[in-house]
Amino acid sequence: MPNKTYWCYKALCYSLLLVNKMKFFIAIRLAFIFLAGFTNLYAQGNEKSLIAKIEQAPGDSARIKALGKLANYYFENDERPRGDSVLGRQLQIAEASRNQNLMLWVLFKNPVNRFYDLNNSRQDKSRLQYALEYAKNNELNDYVSLAYCRISAYELAEGNMDKGLSIANLAITTSFASSNDSVKALCGLQLGYAYLLQGNALMAFKAFNNAYDLAVKKYNRLLVAEVYRAIAAMYKTLGQPGIAIDYIFRSMDIFENAGLRDEVAADYIALGKLYSYGVAKEYLLKAEKLADSLNNKSLKLEAQNILFSYMMTKEKPSLVLQFLQQHKELVKLYDRKGPYYTDWMYGEVYLYGRMPDSARYYFEKAAPFFDSVSSINQQKDFYDELANSYYESKAADIDKAIFYKEKSLQLSKQVSGLREIKTISYHLSDLYERKGDLVKALFYNRQYDLYKDSLALLSKDKDLALLEIGNETKRKQEAAQLLQEKRDRLHNLQYMVITISVLTAFVLLLFLGLFKLSKLTIQVLGFLSFISFFEFIIMLLDTYIHHITHGEPLKVWLIKIGLLSMLLPLHHYLEEKVIHYLLSKKLIEAKSFFYLRKVFTRYKKTSAVAAPAGENIPVPEKNILGS
């Protein structure tokens, strides 16, 4: 029986034949069939190669890593059940190996674990709980803290804000027993995110600041970059995108210097979320191009998805649909999310393009699937948009619009979406007024005013939080400045002590050269004096070298090689000359010379005192007989 390759080849041949006959439309259609078949074969080939690597793996460690790559492949293609199944097999192999390092890698360090923070299936929660129990049973406090962090992130993603905050506090409390500052910093980050989602920006800022201090203390620049991202998220929530952008650029600089281009692409996406459409589009296209060059499908699709969301509200439906036609992988991603998701996307395109009747057609196709297969946030957004398609249509269906608006309102209350509650209440008040039910219209109008006032107070709270954050930042900067001044005074004092010590060593060396000492003693003293002097020079230059090279190891290494190649010969030359001079005993001779001059001078002074001026000193007569 002919396989898929045969049929793809046959489709291509027919397409070429039809081109020759100028039947362009059919030819292009068949060419698309060929390309789709080829893409499918390539994907299957990629999957088969990953499976082959698992079967050929020489040991448990290699097999577990190969399984992780296969799971990552399934997750990128949104085949979550198959990905979960592969990770289940991975965990079984790690358990059977009785190797704790493999177990920890599977439960905590596996790169695909990041998908578990975003995926909301029960199997994911049970896996997180399993990781927590494993860490507890083996008394691994660091990993217990990390497990609590991940469970907290899961609960926050599910909309359980209070539970997420409680578990984040448990994580930070558990981390106190650890000596690992990086773990404490990660727990601080999670606590900050939990406070931020609850609307407590000041407490979030304090938690992020503590995480920053711990990351700096640990000299962990990558963790510092993660803190910058968290602070950017905080300022974005407070309506300060300019400050948030500044922190994202700080994060990007660190990742660029570290050569982590995937993280740079992620920061491009973050900038795309912060800028307005024109600039955001440029950064999202940069992210897409970089992710494509790195073969990072998930980041590439994320950039395309955000750009598509922008275009829905800013461009005409024809341009948005053209964008979808040009990005087949994005459409496939929507298709894999479920039979409803693509229809929902098309409905949004027409709704924001002010074509509510066309939007309603696609929304109604998607509606039967939303109660059972989507999250609360997706449900509330969909039902609100479905209601809008009835609400904004020329032939408005008031009853259906009210039904779906109230459904969206209940879901919005579950996740504390104050802005959504305010907007939906306003729409319901208008809808009931159109229907003639003035009692309910008044009820929803009062609810609208209530949430409007609440949002106004929340806005004032944000302003107050920004003021408090500014004051907290100023206090911290002043404290840091005082600490820096104290550190500078201490360093200057130490430099002075070193300078005096080096000078004293040379003076002592010359002083000891006035005496007869052994050759070994003079050589040792000379060696210590000169090595202290030249190390002092290198120490003074070291800070300047790191400043001009920004700490890049290769540049520092090359400059120090050049510096030492000049200083080392000079060191040996001067040391040899000085020691040779000291050993030549010229200082001893000079000492003797100065000593004789001193004795002669003293003798002359004594003679002058014994014979005062003006007296004649008798000269003894010669003994003539004796002569």
Dihedral sign of CA atoms 364, 365, 371, 375 in order: negative
C-beta pairs of 605-611 under 8 Å, 24+ apart in sequence: none
- Specify the pLDDT at position 121: 44
- CA dist 597 and 574 (Å) reads 31
Closest to 183 measured CA to CA, from 157, 149, 209: 149
Closest to 316 measured CA to CA, from 344, 349, 343, 342: 349
Report CA 60 to chain centroid distance, whole Å: 31
Residue for token digits 């297969």?
Answer: 373
- Residue 84 belongs to what H/E stretch? helix 80-97
Is the separation of the CB atoms in 418 and 450 below 8 Å? no
- List Cα–Cα distances, 267 to 185, 196, 216, 244, 278, in angstroms: 21, 20, 21, 12, 17
- CA dist 444 and 427 (Å) reads 9
- Specify the pLDDT at position 202: 85
Structure tokens at 372: 């059972």
Which residues in the chain show pLDDT less than 50?
Answer: 1-45, 112-122, 593-594, 596, 599, 611, 613-615, 617, 619-627
- Specify the pLDDT at position 64: 87
Angle in degrees, 0-180, between the axes of helices 80-97 and 122-137, rounded to the nearest 10: 20
Is the separation of the CB atoms in 344 and 324 below 8 Å? no
- CA dist 21 and 30 (Å) reads 14
DSSP letter assigned to residue 618: P
Closest to 304 measured CA to CA, from 264, 331, 344: 331
Tens of pLDDT, residues 211-233: 998 988 888 888 999 999 999 99
Closest to 424 measured CA to CA, from 377, 367, 384, 376: 384
pTM over 0.75: no
**What's 129-161 look like in SS3?**
HHHHHHHHHCCCHHHHHHHHHHHHHHHHHCCCH
User: What is the residue extent of each domain of the chain?
Assistant: 1-56, 464-594
- Specify the pLDDT at position 99: 87
Tens of pLDDT, residues 444-493: 999 988 888 877 776 766 766 776 777 667 766 666 677 777 888 888 88
Is the separation of the CB atoms in 387 and 370 below 8 Å? no
